[in-house]
Chains A and B, each alone.
Chain A
Amino acid sequence: MTLTVLLPLALALLAAPAALLAGTLRTAYAAPVGTVFAALAALATLWGYLSGGGIVDIAWTPTWGLRFAVELDGLATLYALLATGIGFAVLVYSSRYVPLHLDHEARPASDAVRFYFFVLLFMGSMVGLAMAQDLILLFVFWDLTAIASYYLIGYDGHKEGSRASALMALLITGITAVLLLIGALFLYAAHGTFSIPELAGLVEPGPLLTGCGLLIAVAGLAKSAQAPFHFWLPRAMAAPTPVSAYLHSAAMVAAGVLLIGRVYPLLQQSEVLLDILLVFGVASMAVGGVLALTRNVLKQLLAYSTIAQYGFVVAMYGLGGPYGAGGAAFYVITHALAKSALFLTAGAVTEATGEDRLSKLGGLRKPLPLLAVASGAAAATLTSLPLTLGFFADEFFFAAALERGPLFAAFAVAFAATTLAYTWRFWSGVFLGGADGKAEAHSVPALLVAPVAALGGIALLGGIFTGPFESLAEAAGEVSFQAPTPLGASYRLEVLPEYLMALGAYALGVGLILSRPVWSWAALGFSRLGALAGPERLYVLTVHGLNVLSGSLHQLEIRNLRGRVTSVLLPTAVIVGAAVLATPATGAYQVGELRAEEVPLMMVLVGVAAASLATAFTRRHVTLALVFSSAGFALAVAYAFYGAPDVTLVAVLVEVVLALLYFATMKLIPYRTLRRQAAQPLLRPNRKIFVSAVAGIFAFVVVWGALSQPPAGQTVAEEYVRLTPEVHAEDVVTAILADFRGLDTLGEITVVAVVLLGVSTLLGRGITAAKAPSSADSVAGVATRAVARLLYLPTLIVAVAILVKGYTQTGDGFSAGVVAALGLMLRRLALGRGKTGGLPSARGAATIAFAGLLLALSVAAAPLFLGDAVLTHYPSPGSEPIYLGTLELITAVLFDVGIFFLVLGFSIGVVSVFAHTIADEEEYAGPQGYRKR
């Protein structure tokens, strides 16, 4: 049973990659491979349906209640057959049309592969969408179709109009798709399932159903180009004709009514929702019908006709009842066949004459007789003439309207008459009349006519042998209506009210055609009004307004550094200030007791503050570096008094490397430039002092307030302290870093690795230059060299000791990494770039760093393969550790080793890049060259 579902789905989904693969081998292979896949998928769908369909329901993300649930029921079969069958016809047509199109646009023939890929991607997503029974799965396929349609509508990406149209379609259908998601989530929150069949049994009429149903329905209506979301469809005609024929007759707009048909079991439980659907449908019939009567460009006329026709379908769903649900499905088949044929006709006509406007076309029945007959059949189907499939489509529409009342019956007749009028306008305008003063036609390739003939032929045959179409529509209607929907499509020799209505529609349609001069000004006026104040205008204004807003925000932010800082700090200050003012002051601030043993800490803090203040008054850069380093070292001492030896160790080491880097930067920037900076008077010093004083006061108030109110109750720290022995650690801080909050550390070391990449890129030459070691250029004296040699090995030993004992003593991977790096740097400084003192190259350092990152990441990810959570360490808590001598072997240490290598690589890499850049500069300008520049 499962194969009947999975085979069509797999064939449809594999079509796009297969065509892409074939196309990369050779451009010409893409079309045949894609066409074969489409045909196979269509046959597989038919076979699956005739074998009784089937269900596949696999748990997807069980914790969220998501299921990969697909079923080949009547509704799915109908739309999957449309997508693959009409897809097949369109692909046959494209195999001739696309090369002509590319040639016409002066584009390389290899661009065709992209066309087939996205058409087939659309086909695959459409089949998936048709089968999906789970709202989230449905949403995924829904968005896939939107993505494919974006690339197809914007296929002529070199034209601005195409890009704008593609974006419009994507925005309208994409934003409304979010509404579908929201509706699905609300339903899930209320009923605990995303499955549509299950939801159908759970929902009850009420505000929740109305709200969710409306959200989902709006997504469908926008995709089906129903007023007021209709405006994207005429714009989307910028796409190549086969795309229009496929997407805008059988696939993309059909997806909208497919969604409505799929969730109809939910929608029909609410009278309000049905009425809303009816209103949307009637409005679209009116807007689409009237505007189709005014359009001059062939594809535009057809686009508005599509809007109106899907209005019929939506209105049928709104009318409800067996004729509504079953008839809607029947109407979709009829329309897809007829409309795709007419779109393909438009493409063939334009190809033959180079003209796409009705006013320039006429009399083509003589040069293109077969096309005229084939599209005539399609047009007859669309206008529901007897002996065509369309006749029954309108019969069911009339029947559904009659059940609702005479007013709706009158509406139905009027709109059917409009259909007749604009379809006649299209067909007669192209093929009838005199050819004088109209565009000349040359013959068209047979492959551009054959698909039209086939589609028209099926529509005609369907008018006589209605059985297969009727049973398919009944099966689809039953899925929507949740009850049998007998349609009874056969000609009867009696006077049915539906027949009378059809006759009335024909008469009214002929009247509309004949009286065109009387009403054409009104229709044109309506069209002008729509262009002036319609929804499209609103869309353009909104998009433009958003663009302007984003542009001005961007300007505000990037104009200059100070502006950027202000734009962040000022709102922060306002928010913080408001918060401070809103907090009652009594009891919020505490001076805190000053114990005798805290006096040293207090003195160090005074030192920190003094050193920091001193940076503000320092002129020379060298002095500045010394002063801010001293502030940093004082801080490190303060951390020690706070009982944080790990932090102290890292702070001291970081401060050393930072000072080194600062000196290196100063070496890179010529003395004169720095000197000029140092000598410059302060610009508006008072203002700067004022601003920083305000900032300081703000910081003071916030920090004081925050420190004064420690949260009451148990803290997570207690838990960490208690758990530390269980994870075989003694240093709680290291245990937190490597185990309890290892994910933070993972994020942090990733940042470090990225920064290393950034620095190497910015100082680009350092990482690629393979420098020959020059002779010893050390300036250090004999004593320094001796000390450096003496210190080198002990430094590395200390580093390793810090690393392996990190779990039991002060220190961890960070400090060990920096210590080791300092050892290497010391050698480089004292011994020069000789063969004993060379640092690893920047590339080598980057390799070390990324090897470390990789090690840490693998240690973090490895538990996944053992069925545990990320960052689980072994041996597990509480179990007996493995000893190597006195050394405990635990994976957390391995994680720390990764960090060690990363930090080592980072420190060496950054310093090395700076050092190499300095060397380059020196070679360029000579050791004394800076001053000359």
Chain B
Amino acid sequence: MILLAALAVAVVFAAGTFLLLQRDLTRVVVGVILISNSAVLFIIAAGLVRGEAPIYPLPEEGLTGAGISDPLVQAMALTALIIGFSIAALLLAIIYRVYVTHRTVDLEEISAIEMRYAEALEAEEDPEEEELPAEEQDAEPEDAAETQEGAGER
């Protein structure tokens, strides 16, 4: 059973990794969900004993006699589930945001757009920007992101 559980965790994890490597951002999110699923499964499988649900009245054997399942891992798994769920919701919202900015959910295309924009920025020689003190030039990436949105919508 130990071997089987480990195999199941590993397969879910591998599938998640595979999706994580895709160009399609929606698949990346599914990959993240799968990986967090594999983590929860691992936590549950790591329970020391397996038996009935840990709800009173307990069976005679108790925890040590493997009458009930390990409640601690269940509590942890619950926490992990909720956090994973929240993260997935956040990621989905981010995808939509990315789509609004770039009109695509393809990682390669997004990288290409960003590269193009960075090159355009370097080629552009603005005399005013030269005079900016160092700190204000540090703020450039943010400006870049904003202009990027404009470029994406055009």
A, B: real partners = yes
When chains A and B are docked, how far (Å) is the Cα of A914 from the Cα of B87? 15
Residues of B within 8 A of A605 (CB): 4-5, 7-8
B63 CB-CB contact with A under 8 Å: yes
Contact present for B8 and A717 (CB under 8 Å): no
A444 CB-CB contact with B under 8 Å: no
Most buried by A among B16, B19, B34, B93: B93
When chains A and B are docked, how far (Å) is the Cα of A598 from the Cα of B58? 21
Instruction: Give the distance to chain A from B60, nearest Cβ to Cβ, in Å.
Output: 13
Contact present for A644 and B1 (CB under 8 Å): no
A704 CB-CB contact with B under 8 Å: yes
**Contact mask for chain A residues 710-742; partner B; CB cutoff 8 A; 1 contact, 0 none:** 110001111011001100011111001100010
Residues of A within 8 A of B50 (CB): 642-643
Instruction: Give the distance to chain B from A363, nearest Cβ to Cβ, in Å.
Output: 38
B26 CB-CB contact with A under 8 Å: yes
A669-B99, A696-B10, A707-B2 known; A717-B15 Cβ under 8 A: no
A615 CB-CB contact with B under 8 Å: yes
Closest to B141 in A: A558
A658-B85, A680-B23, A706-B46 known; A731-B54 Cβ under 8 A: yes
A725-B56, A748-B79 known; A624-B27 Cβ under 8 A: yes
A642-B47, A708-B2 known; A677-B105 Cβ under 8 A: yes
Residues of A within 8 A of B24 (CB): 677, 680
Give the dominant DSSP class at B's interface: helix
When chains A and B are docked, how far (Å) is the Cα of A695 from the Cα of B23? 18
Number of chain A interface residues as a range: 35 or more
Contact present for B21 and A688 (CB under 8 Å): yes
When chains A and B are docked, how far (Å) is the Cα of A460 from the Cα of B76? 76
| Chain A 436-454 residues near chain B, CB threshold 8 A | none
B147 CB-CB contact with A under 8 Å: no
Residues of A within 8 A of B18 (CB): 616, 688-689, 692
**Contact mask for chain A residues 580-603; partner B; CB cutoff 8 A; 1 contact, 0 none:** 000000000011111100100110
Instruction: Give the distance to chain A from B129, nearest Cβ to Cβ, in Å.
Output: 16
Closest to B103 in A: A673
A651 CB-CB contact with B under 8 Å: yes
A844 CB-CB contact with B under 8 Å: no
- Flag the segment in A140-148, A752-760, A827-835 that touches B: A752-760
| Chain B 6-41 residues near chain A, CB threshold 8 A | 6-24, 26-30, 33-34, 37-38, 40-41
Chain B: interface residue total (CB-CB under 8 A)? 91
A123 CB-CB contact with B under 8 Å: no
B120 CB-CB contact with A under 8 Å: no
Instruction: Give the distance to chain A from B53, nearest Cβ to Cβ, in Å.
Output: 5
Contact present for A615 and B96 (CB under 8 Å): no
A644-B53, A758-B93, A917-B96 known; A717-B71 Cβ under 8 A: yes
Residues of B within 8 A of A732 (CB): 54-56, 68, 71
**Contact mask for chain A residues 873-906; partner B; CB cutoff 8 A; 1 contact, 0 none:** 0000000000000000000000000000001001
**Contact mask for chain A residues 751-775; partner B; CB cutoff 8 A; 1 contact, 0 none:** 1100110110011000000000000
Residues of B within 8 A of A665 (CB): 26, 92, 95-96
When chains A and B are docked, how far (Å) is the Cα of A654 from the Cα of B148? 35
Contact present for B86 and A643 (CB under 8 Å): no
A644-B77, A666-B26, A721-B71 known; A700-B7 Cβ under 8 A: yes
Sorted from nearest, which 6 A-B pairs have the closest CB atoms?
A696-B14, A592-B2, A643-B69, A700-B10, A704-B6, A692-B18
Residues of A within 8 A of B (CB): 158, 160, 163, 560-562, 565, 590-595, 598, 601-602, 605-606, 608-609, 612-613, 615-616, 621, 624, 628, 631-632, 635, 638-639, 642-647, 650-651, 654, 657-658, 661-662, 664-666, 668-669, 673-674, 676-677, 680, 682-683, 688-689, 691-693, 695-697, 699-700, 703-704, 706-708, 710-711, 715-718, 720-721, 724-725, 729-733, 736-737, 741, 744-745, 748, 751-752, 755-756, 758-759, 762-763, 808-810, 812, 814, 903, 906, 910, 913-914, 917
Residues of B within 8 A of A (CB): 1-24, 26-30, 33-34, 37-38, 40-42, 44-48, 50-58, 62-64, 68-79, 81-83, 85-90, 92-97, 99, 103-108, 111, 133-135
Q: What would 6 more interface pairs be, CB under 8 Å, given A661-B89, A721-B63?
A: A560-B107, A593-B1, A605-B4, A642-B44, A669-B95, A810-B55
